[in-house]
Amino acid sequence: MASSSHREAHLQRNLPLPQPSQDNAEFYAAAARGELRFQRCTPCGRFRHYPRPACPSCLSRNFTWELSTGRGTVYTWTIVRGPTLPAFQDRLPYNVVDVLMDEGVHFVSEVLDCEPEEIRAGMPVQATFVAVSDDVTLVKFRRCA
Ligand SMILES: [Zn+2]
């Protein structure tokens, strides 16, 4: 069975992955297509992220999944030097960034191919997609040229 063998592969690599849910299924389906999409409230027009059923501003449950520009800037960040989860031990040090997207939402992720001392607040970044399994594609970032 494909799903159980994938699950075993994840366990072998010991990588914790996002758990699909009713709220984020469309987010991950879009990511698998190479699209970053955010929920946008129909009545008030505000974007939101993480995915959730109701608008935090007006509480409406009416929304669409809008295509993001994929662009943003580093709002803040930290460098993880350890200790960390065993699955990430061989990646130390790595960055965790809060990206302020063009749409105004904050997105927690990682800037790839970027040395810790090179990260700056306000640094322009662009979304990139990393398929980690048949089911999950992660949204990461790269510095804009
Ligand atoms: Zn709203």
Instruction: Give the range of the structural domain holding residue 96, as residue numbers without chain letter.
Output: 20-143
Task: Examine residue 13 and state whether it is found in any structural domain, yes or no.
Answer: no
Higher pLDDT, 132 or 47: 47
Please tell me the distance between residue 29's alpha carbon and the centre of ligand 1 in angstroms. Answer: 23
**In this structure, how many other beta carbons lie within 10 angstroms of the beta carbon of residue 87?**
13
Task: Examine residue 9 and state whether it is found in any structural domain, yes or no.
Answer: no
Claim: this prediction has a pTM higher than 0.75: yes
pLDDT, one tens digit per residue, over 10-67 is 444 668 899 889 999 999 999 999 999 999 999 999 999 999 999 999 999 999 999 9
Q: What is the domain count for the chain?
A: 1
Task: Examine residue 49 and state whether it is found in any structural domain, yes or no.
Answer: yes
CATH number at residue 31: 2.40.50.840
Please tell me the distance between residue 49's alpha carbon and the centre of ligand 1 in angstroms. Answer: 13
What residues flank ion ligand 1 with Cβ within 5 A? 41, 44, 55, 57-58, 60
Task: Examine residue 11 and state whether it is found in any structural domain, yes or no.
Answer: no
Could you give the strand order of the β-sheet that contains 71-80, starting from the edge strand earlier in sequence? 106-109, 94-101, 71-80, 124-131, 137-143
Task: Examine residue 10 and state whether it is found in any structural domain, yes or no.
Answer: no
Task: Examine residue 6 and state whether it is found in any structural domain, yes or no.
Answer: no
CA separation for the pair 126, 113 (Å, rounded): 13
Task: Examine residue 94 and state whether it is found in any structural domain, yes or no.
Answer: yes
